[in-house]
């Protein structure tokens, strides 16, 4: 009986400590949505936040653009059910490979942000694409993001993007560095 009580006490203390970690972070649920970068970044953020007791979910679609997610019933249902306090968005690489106007990009980015917020006070953190040579119109993406209201666009280029990357994607260690930079930045900018 003493062993059972001792084991239960340990479990209760562990669960309590685990949940308090998330509360002291100021948030307990993070969603990540985006293109193929989320295939590697999503699991890295899931691992980084999970160690701190923060629930993290991600949705991605290879080759997608922000405008393709606008009006998505899957995205709407996910935002309603998971109800994240923070949404990390990773779009812009595919948009930057086509010569879309700044106005068109800003409108589609803003429409996505409005859908993600949907009347909630969610923080939207937009991760800009790395300066890959194939992203010919990256300046259009950055100019469009400057016009979008209700987002934060931190600069992670110093630490992450100076490492090697292949084609349109970062290396695995670079995605881990980026995930750690995002986690740290969120702690420093509550």
- pLDDT value at position 86? 96
- Class at the top of the CATH hierarchy for domain 26-188: alpha beta
Q: Which residues fall within 8 angstroms of residue 15, CB to CB, at 6 or more apart? A: none
Q: Which residues fall within 8 angstroms of residue 149, CB to CB, at 6 or more apart? A: 110, 113
Average the pLDDT over each of 65-69, 160-164, 173-177 and give the range with the smallest value.
160-164
Closest C-alpha to 44, from 32, 61, 53: 32
- pLDDT value at position 132? 66
**What are the Cα distances from residue 100, in Å, to 95, 141, 183?**
7, 9, 31
8 against 136, higher pLDDT: 136
151-166 residue pLDDT tens = 999 987 766 555 555 5
80-119 residue pLDDT tens = 999 999 999 998 888 888 888 999 999 999 999 999 998 8
C-alpha–C-alpha distance, residues 17 and 151, integer Å: 32
Summarize the confidence of residues 51-58 as an average pLDDT. Answer: 90
Q: Considering the chain, what percentage of its residues have pLDDT values greater than 70? A: 78
- pLDDT value at position 19? 41
34, 91 Cβ separation under 8 angstroms: yes
Q: Considering the chain, what percentage of its residues have pLDDT values greater than 90? A: 41
167 against 126, higher pLDDT: 126
**What are the Cα distances from residue 32, in Å, to 14, 84, 99, 162?**
27, 10, 26, 23
E strands, 25-168, in order? 29-34, 55-60, 86-90, 123-126, 165-166
Buried residues in 36-51 as b, exposed as e (16+ CB within 10 A): bbbebbbbbbbebbee
Bridge partners for 30 per DSSP:
56, 86
Average the pLDDT over each of 16-20, 39-43, 103-107 and give the range with the smallest value.
16-20
Closest C-alpha to 125, from 38, 33, 27, 26: 33
Burial of 33 by CB count in 10 Å (0-12 exposed, 13-18 middle, 19+ buried)?
A: buried
Residue carrying structure tokens 């400057």: 146
Bridge partners for 44 per DSSP:
none
Number of continuous H segments (helices) and E segments (strands) in the chain: 7, 6
- pLDDT value at position 94? 84
What token pair was written down for 67? 């405008």
């Amino acid at each position: 009986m003493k062993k059972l009580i001792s084991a239960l006490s340990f479990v209760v203390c562990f669960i309590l400590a685990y949940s308090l970690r998330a509360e002291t972070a100021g948030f307990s649920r993070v969603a990540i949505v985006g293109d193929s970068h989320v295939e590697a970044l999503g699991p890295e953020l899931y691992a980084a936040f999970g160690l701190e007791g923060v629930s993290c979910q991600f949705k991605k679609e290879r080759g997608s653009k922000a405008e393709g997610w606008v009006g998505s019933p899957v995205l709407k249902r996910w935002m309603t059910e998971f109800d994240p306090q923070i949404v990390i968005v990773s779009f812009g690489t595919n948009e930057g490979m086509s010569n879309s106007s700044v106005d068109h990009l800003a409108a589609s980015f803003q429409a996505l942000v409005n859908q993600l917020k949907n009347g909630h006070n969610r923080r939207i953190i937009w991760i800009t694409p790395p300066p890959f040579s194939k992203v010919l119109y990256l300046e259009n993406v950055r100019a469009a993001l400057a016009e979008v209201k209700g987002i934060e666009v931190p600069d992670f280029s110093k630490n992450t993007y100076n490492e090697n990357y292949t084609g349109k994607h970062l290396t695995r260690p670079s995605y881990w560095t980026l995930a750690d930079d995002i986690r740290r930045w969120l702690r420093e900018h509550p």
